[in-house]
Structure 1
């Protein structure tokens, strides 16, 4: 299904009515208040040899003997060709304040790599998080993945296509997956971002999360803004329906009037009143993983 203009702004999405159009989501690292009681508890943890194969952890201070928290691995967006964990600490901290230990990985990006390398990185990062998170108060037996935009694509690919987590030796690790404003069905490749990232794939259908819907997949939560013109909300509608058609567990929520950047910006205390996206994601993950 073709949607002209999809991904055209993924590498430079801005906050629209929030600030000037040239201001990126990363400005929320410095704008306004941050959630209290949690912080970055580890930085620059490695899951590979490349400088971009690193992740940070967010959560409360923790000592051995205290209860372990469920874990969320969160992937930021950026059109598969941009982005940095240094810009999204505010989003990870917001999730951590909802009761999770949150991992925020970088991953290798276009043009240095193409599909499927960034998805392989997502799987490798998730597996490594599970190996080390117990030292920081996280429970690796209760792990979910989540992401926004291109990061939602990564999260859904490693949750749905069995091959990626099997390749890192943890085929049953992911217990739930949440996607915000994700591209899940975007053939043909007709804009530079998708051409550059996926255009050399021998079988383009293997780049699409909708290809891998299955009844025994981890439960999915899918959120989208109805005013999103970067990735249209039909992607969420399609993936949700196809999961349900095969007997999988999936739920979707559309947020009236929110655009592509708005959806994740509501994680910030500055814009949380616009829509209960953070509460909805958190409630889903807690329900599926246990508090």
Structure 2
């Protein structure tokens, strides 16, 4: 039954400890991480060739940025930002764009309407629409629609999972393998625990809807290669989510990054020599 899920026996306080990574970091460290996202993103795209601010979804008016285009068509990394579906934006989420550009890879960073203005179902629809836009219009902007790799951090890791599963591609006229590989970072794959933590004040899920929006509970005929990344010092809930879903997916590796926490592990995407950066390039070059 959907009412029973791993961890459902925990108290609300225990669930908060497992999933409230902002509280675990503390406000001072959290603020430093957010400033780092902003500053490193600004430096990464300064003077970088690209096409910022493109409307990818007429229904919502949401936009995406294309960074790091060059000669010919480039493989594309689609980065879905975190923020528990209710914070952050594409403006502070392009810190990997310059490093990938130097490796011959373009970066696409979509915005999506944040909760509670949008339901989680609508956020998922928008993310999938951004992938459809790349497949249909990428060539016009230097992107190779046959080489799309999707990744994201935290809530963005959940949204990556929702792009990995099946059932949504055909209605949008896309091939089942439109996402060639994926890198969820500190992802959420069974989001039923969210119904009992503070985040639910914004996303307003019940257990049945949470189950329907959980990649771990959805079918996937095509299982793309994936790297499941999580930080050694992540929230215990996030660690357990990746440890559980990676073997279930069965087409990827689990990478636990030592010395990193929930908020800084994603910054390693900007360094091609780091284990995270190297794993991403490996997916892009398969």
* TM-score, length basis structure 1: 0.81
* Aligned partners of 2:164 and 2:220 also within 8 Å: no
SS where residue 39 of structure 1 aligns?
Answer: coil
Greater helix content: 2
| Structure-2 change in CA distance of 1:151 and 1:95 (3 Å) | farther
Paired residue for 2:210? 204
Q: Distance in 1 between matches of 2:53 and 2:213?
A: 29
SS where residue 280 of structure 2 aligns?
Answer: helix
Paired residue for 1:257? 259
Q: Distance in 2 between matches of 1:77 and 1:239?
A: 19
- Which runs of structure 2 are paired with 1:39-78 in the superposition (5 Å)? 39-49=48-58, 53-62=62-71, 66=72, 68-78=73-83
| Structure 1 residue 40: Cα displacement | 4.7
| Structure 1 residue 106: Cα displacement | 0.2
* Aligned partners of 2:98 and 2:270 also within 8 Å: no
| Structure 1 residue 9: Cα displacement | 4.0
Gaps of 5+ in 2: 1-5, 8-13
| Structure-2 change in CA distance of 1:192 and 1:20 (3 Å) | closer
Gaps of 5+ in 1: none
Q: How many residues align?
A: 272
* Aligned partners of 1:180 and 1:222 also within 8 Å: yes
* Aligned partners of 2:45 and 2:94 also within 8 Å: no
| Structure-2 change in CA distance of 1:140 and 1:263 (3 Å) | same
Paired residue for 2:224? 218
SS where residue 78 of structure 1 aligns?
Answer: coil
Paired residue for 1:174? 179
Paired residue for 1:165? 169
Q: Which moved more, 1:216-225 or 1:198-207?
A: 198-207
* Aligned partners of 2:234 and 2:260 also within 8 Å: yes
Paired residue for 1:8? 20
* Aligned partners of 2:44 and 2:96 also within 8 Å: no
| Structure 1 residue 51: Cα displacement | 6.4
Which of 19, 36, 52 is residue 27 of structure 1 equivalent to? Answer: 36
SS where residue 217 of structure 1 aligns?
Answer: coil
| Structure-2 change in CA distance of 1:239 and 1:266 (3 Å) | same
Which of 188, 191, 198 is residue 197 of structure 2 equivalent to? Answer: 191
C-alpha RMSD of matched pairs (Å): 3.0
Q: Distance in 1 between matches of 2:65 and 2:59?
A: 15
Q: Distance in 1 between matches of 2:281 and 2:242?
A: 18
| Structure-2 change in CA distance of 1:91 and 1:202 (3 Å) | same
SS where residue 277 of structure 1 aligns?
Answer: helix
| Structure 1 residue 131: Cα displacement | 1.8
Q: Which moved more, 1:78-87 or 1:28-37?
A: 28-37
* TM-score, length basis structure 2: 0.83
Q: Distance in 2 between matches of 1:33 and 1:116?
A: 31
Paired residue for 2:113? 108
| Structure-2 change in CA distance of 1:199 and 1:152 (3 Å) | same
